[in-house]
Chains A and B, each alone.
Chain A
């Protein structure tokens, strides 16, 4: 008897996206034109279309005024409008308070100074008066359902130019697949029912259905690709038509897992190294230049039994241009280094003929090839290798402490506390390597996985300074961000009233929690107080991508 090996269905289906999805719902959905058009046969047996719909999507209902997505949010799902009417705000953008953001007003010098007597000794005191202004719908227990809504929809419609999104509209797929923040705020004008598809499902749909693939890819090509291309120095000299040709020929590739942080944490706890997919292998012949669109990848050269990291690349960086340039006269030059994905990487591949036609004629010779870095002593690159392994390369403002200088006086923690009402927002502990420590302080990542899934939009990237901040007022303490952060930099705290008693939810009597983390002293003049406060210059907020950060200052 031939037993067909049935591949196990995706493990994630054990935790379906929408547990309340019934088969009836699925049936109904299959009748929708967009879904009906999908060729079921293209889907493999272990991930049938119905399975995808049942487990990787859910029906969400919105009432009039509810905000569906907020501009600037990172999301991991796309939406298909089933019934109802939605509005996308085009211009001017909604005031940030309306979508749950805090206004990051910087304190004046005198106000900053007055903190010296307004700071409290009692930990995590909050003025609960602020919270009553909150437009929170739903109880704190039903966290997933709590939303922020617009009170005055007609006014918004009058003051802002909007566009209508009716049934059949698909939106949000860029954010879901491409790690791009939501570009606009979308709210329900009247009651609406949406099919929310999580990114895994979206990936399956794009992979197996040509129609969806075309739709999604075209959207990307239209909206985002040219922007990404234009930002690269490689395509600077091209005019509009040339750029269009390049855009048309560009291929999209994704490596690694979107939820890399989850698996990464799990792997770390188990002591295993994460699986790092190889994008391009040393010794192979390149057929186009790889441009990182999102995520991180490392450039590595074979060293003994391992792969030595020479550098790592982030959004906008290119790989393979040295070899292609050397081989533009027709000789075949093989890749001298490998490109290995770290966590999650979105890659654009621009084929070599396109380069030869449009780019190389206008290009000057590239600077020294990366392989030359392999000549450096191993010890010099050891800290960098460690940082890559720990995924600290994600951080733009990692707190790096030189342990040879630090006298363990905790002045940095005190300074942090003094700018946050007496509550420090980081801990002076963390992974160490040689004499370096990366402390438990928010690194304000380039790829902020903490921002994925915030129900109220409390965690967001501040427009003015780019720091990732949590709006204390709108945070409901669900802990999504804290659990997501791969570096344990977000902490939930029990808040207290001015008398020192813990504030409790009236229904469950559970203490109300708020997520807290370093906010780069956004509201304080002068930038991060921790750096200012260190009496021995041992503490720095570093971007691991910028230059030689592991030089000792002392």
Chain B
């Protein structure tokens, strides 16, 4: 670990220098109007550079085969410089809501990308712990197969129980209520918020049907309940992992649009405002 610490120190020194440079630069940019100089071009181009750096994270993620720095540091830099860009943005625009059609669209995009980025970052710090606490690990792409297997098992148990006992109680209950649950991941929103609606529902189902079952059937019901609770954990994984993947579907396309607008802004500003 000592080598890691050495690298860590080097990176933090570099980052510290970068930070100091940006702070010094920002102060200078704030000073510039005092000398009748327009800081917008300077702050704008610095923001342009930082934006490219920030956007390079996407490229970096595809380039893990060459040693150009750990992705963890790139991500930290991405978040950090993203936040600095917020500050620089306000220094640059001197307003919360600019005039001008495309500038307003640009500002809107900035806010959306920032908000989505911050929300996503928060998500990615909170969700893993919740997933680890579920005491189950499953790869996202395997969830359909796993659910299919659980479904098959439950159906087998129901069939077996029906064959053994001759009663169709479980079967009917399965068709009426349980099959809905096992068809696909459920209770998406409660799982997002850490609510236990799934477990509550399972308990309710069990309590509903229990009184109509024989002892043997109850044993089968217990097995089904076990599988249902297992599936509830899968549902939690599905919910949290989905969100951890889907938020990027907001952040990345918006960022792409932002980049397009940024390039246009630079062009327009150089043609008309110089």
Q: Does A525 have its Cβ within 8 Å of any Cβ on chain B?
A: yes
Q: How many interface residues does A have (CB within 8 Å)?
A: 39
Quick check: B66 and A404 within 8 Å, CB to CB?
A: no
B1:A547 contact, CB within 8 angstroms: yes
Q: A437-B137, A536-B72, A537-B70 are in contact. Are A113 and B65 (CB under 8 A)?
A: yes
Q: Let me know if A429 and B64 touch, CB within 8 A.
A: no
Q: A408-B241, A536-B124 are in contact. Are A529 and B139 (CB under 8 A)?
A: no
At the interface, yes or no: A414 with Cβ under 8 Å from chain B?
Answer: yes
Question: Is B74 in contact with chain A by the CB < 8 A criterion?
Answer: yes
- Cβ of A409 and Cβ of B72 under 8 Å apart? no
The answer to whether B72 and A109 have CB atoms under 8 Å apart is no
Q: Closest residue to A530 on the B side, CB-wise? A: B64
Closest-by-CB residue of B relative to A525 is B67
Q: In whole angstroms, what is the CA distance A419 to B61 when docked?
A: 13
Q: In the bound complex, do residue B72 and residue A525 qualify as a contact, i.e. CB atoms below 8 Å apart?
A: no
- How far, in whole Å, are A353 and B193 apart by their CA atoms in the complex? 68
Q: Is the CB of B62 within 8 A of A418?
A: yes
Known contacts A534-B72, A535-B61, A535-B74, A526 near B128 by CB under 8 Å: no
Pair B71/A408 contact, Cβ less than 8 Å: no
B132 within 8 A of A: yes
**Shortest CB–CB separation between residue B13 and chain A, in angstroms?**
18
Residues of B within 8 A of A531 (CB): 70
B132 near A418 with CB under 8 A, answer no
B67/A415 in contact, CB under 8 A:
no
| B131 close to A (CB within 8 Å) | yes
Q: How far is the CB of B59 from chain A (nearest CB, A)?
A: 10
A32 within 8 A of B: no
Closest CB-CB distance, B251 to chain A, in whole Å?
A: 13
Q: Is A228 interfacial (CB-CB < 8 Å)?
A: no
- CB-CB nearest in chain B for A527: B67
Closest residue on chain B to residue A437 by CB atoms: B137
B131 proximity list for chain A (CB < 8 A): 403, 408
List the B residue with the shortest CB-CB distance to A536.
B72
User: A536 to B75, Cβ gap below 8 A?
Assistant: yes
CB of B264 within 8 A of chain A? no
Residues in B with CB closer than 8 Å to A370 are none
Cross-chain contact A535 with B72 (CB below 8 angstroms): yes
> What distance in Å separates the Cβ of A319 from its nearest Cβ neighbour in chain B?
26
Q: Does A407 contact B (CB under 8 A)?
A: yes
Provide the residues of chain B in CB contact with A529, threshold 8 Å: 64-65
Interface membership of B229, Cβ < 8 A:
no
Shortest Cβ distance from A526 into B: residue: B67
**Do B132 and A532 touch across chains, with their CB atoms under 8 A apart?**
no
Minimum CB–CB distance for A333 against chain B, Å: 35
Q: Nearest residue in A to B62 (C-beta to C-beta)? A: A116
Q: State A325–B135 Cα separation when bound (angstroms).
A: 46
Interface residues of chain A, those whose CB is within 8 Å of chain B, are: 109, 112-113, 115-116, 403-411, 414-415, 418-419, 427-429, 432, 434-435, 437, 524-527, 529, 531-538, 547
